Amino acid sequence: MMKKLFFYLSIIIFMGSCGNSDNGQLVGVKKRPHFYQPDPYGMVYIPMGSFTIGATGEDITHAFNNEPKTISVQAFYMDETEITNNEYRQFVYWVRDSIARRLLGDINPEKYLIEEDPKTGEQYEPPFLNWKEKIDWKSEDQDVRAELENLYLPERERYFRKKEIDTRKLFYEYYYIDLKAAARKDYSVEGNNINGAFANRPQGLKDRSVYVKKETINIYPDTLVWMHDYAYSFNDPLTEKYFWHPAYDNYPVVGVNWKQAKAFCVWRTQYFNTYLSKKKEAIASDFRLPTEAEWEWAARGGYSLNPYPWGGPYVRNKKGCFLANFKPQRGNYINDGGLTTVIVAHYPPNDFGLYDMAGNVAEWTNDAYDDATYHMGWDMNQTYTYNAKETDPPSLKRKVIRGGSWKDIKHYLKVSTRSYEYQDTAKCYIGFRCVQSYLGRQKDDSPSRASKIY
């Protein structure tokens, strides 16, 4: 009996030692977190593909800025609709509430701030915000009311004594690494490192903080765009109610400039990755604005030579109904079912499942505008980016917009038509949508050999 017990015990120990050892073989790091990339909420999957970017018909403006060229793009996800007022309002409320928690943290840090790790006692600098603690906006505590009062309009600026948040104080602060600058080589610098690979880094290999950039931006939409874009047009109701009234919750947000759209993408990334980190899951790829090439590939719906997102050369279907919200005929705005913007997803999607890739509102892309982009750009994941400074001339602040809008003629609805607007300007006919790179080759890839073995 003792011999059998010893025999079985030896087998268990032997098998356990095999499982815990790599036997000197190259098997990679074990116990890596499992990663599965589900479709993000409200987004559709766009497969990788090659297509002919640029004009596929007559260039009626004779701009000569979109000559045909074969481009290949990686797989990615894209919002099925433009970002709506209510979705952007979630961002605005988050910024408002984060500022309020900072203010209340000055008088009650134990309640509104998390200053140390509860397990290790490590001090957080700066402290985290305690989002579990709700803000009592109608608190009877005088100290709380006094701190929150800083977020409201001063009494002399109130209309009929109505307390409203001072939107001029809604600033969002974020950081990013300027990878383009870090990768740039400068062989002209004396005493460069490793054949000039790090010559543009002032501290050599010691400190990369020179590439960590800080942005602070007011994120509230410019609600006056409906007036200053059209001085002799009665758009007062839209100016007063378009962004905040429930009637317009599912309309595309407008009055957002390129910088604000970028800030929204950063916030959305941080918001989602914070949730994943709490669940101890691998973080996701960043949300961002689409490159010009990604936008056109997505708008084409998988086809190469179609002039419009829905395919054929006409802007009406077989029943004579318009397929997008734009300025048809000789300016009969309401003939397509809308006067200005309309609710998102009102018209049929393209074959990728994307709505309003033509009309409703034009959309910001990540790319800087240059007439020669297609000539100088790479044919794989083509993009041209430039982080313009406040002191740069206006010509360097141009960003590509695509898709046309409710106020444009059908030429601007074509998937190949390029236009631009300045990054620090907001318009009543420009919105945006986000993309997220797919991590891997293709969504339908089979499990790898390594995942089967290990």
pLDDT value of residue 92: 97
As given in the structure block, the two tokens for residue 336 are: 């397509």
pLDDT value of residue 396: 93
* pLDDT over 50 at 196, yes or no: no
Q: 242 versus 445: which is more confidently predicted?
A: 242
- Contact residues for 375 (Cβ-Cβ < 8 A; gap 6+): 67
* pLDDT over 70 at 6, yes or no: no
Q: 93 versus 37: which is more confidently predicted?
A: 93
The model's confidence at residue 194, banded by pLDDT at 50, 70 and 90, is: very low
The model's confidence at residue 403, banded by pLDDT at 50, 70 and 90, is: very high
* pLDDT over 80 at 17, yes or no: no
- Give the DSSP H/E element, type plus range, for residue 125: strand 123-129
Bridging pattern class, strands 430-431 and 362-368: parallel
- Contact residues for 314 (Cβ-Cβ < 8 A; gap 6+): none
Query: What is the DSSP track for 331-367?
Result: T-GGGGT-SS---TT-S---TTS---SSSSSEEEEEE
What is the average per-residue pLDDT within 235-245? 94
pLDDT value of residue 123: 87
pLDDT value of residue 179: 84
Closest CA to 102 of 138, 64, 131, 63: 131
pLDDT value of residue 432: 98
Query: What is the DSSP track for 414-447?
Result: STT--EEEETT---TTEE---EEE-SSS-TTPPP
* pLDDT over 80 at 453, yes or no: no
Question: In angstroms, how far apart are the furthest CA atoms of the chain?
Answer: 101
What is the average per-residue pLDDT within 377-390? 88
Neighbouring-strand partners of residue 69: 53
Phi-psi region at 351: left, alpha or beta (left = phi > 0; alpha = psi -120 to 50): alpha
- Label residues 172-206 b or e (16+ Cβ within 10 Å = b): beeeeeeeeeeeeeeeeeeebeeeeebbbbeeeee
Q: What is the pLDDT of residues 244-303, one digit of tens each?
A: 999 999 999 999 999 999 999 999 999 999 999 888 888 889 999 999 999 999 999 988
**Would you call 108 exposed, middle or buried from its count of C-beta atoms within 10 A (0-12, 13-18, 19+)?**
middle
Angle ∠(203,208,210) on CA atoms, nearest 5? 80
Neighbouring-strand partners of residue 368: 399
What is the average per-residue pLDDT within 376-390? 88
What is the average per-residue pLDDT within 47-64? 75
* pLDDT over 90 at 237, yes or no: yes
What is the average per-residue pLDDT within 98-103? 95
Q: Supply the mean pLDDT for the chain.
A: 86
Closest CA to 109 of 92, 123, 91, 96: 123
Percent share of the chain, pLDDT over 90: 55
The model's confidence at residue 448, banded by pLDDT at 50, 70 and 90, is: very low
pLDDT value of residue 372: 85
Distance (Å, whole) CA 264 – CA 45: 21
Distance (Å, whole) CA 45 – CA 43: 7
Distance (Å, whole) CA 114 – CA 110: 7
Q: What is the pTM of this model?
A: 0.88
Q: What is the pLDDT of residues 146-179, one digit of tens each?
A: 999 999 999 899 888 889 999 999 999 999 888 8
Distance (Å, whole) CA 85 – CA 63: 34
- Contact residues for 47 (Cβ-Cβ < 8 A; gap 6+): 75, 302, 442, 443
What is the average per-residue pLDDT within 408-412? 92
All domains in the chain, ordered by first residue = 31-84+223-454 (3.90.1580.10), 86-169 (no CATH), 171-215 (no CATH)
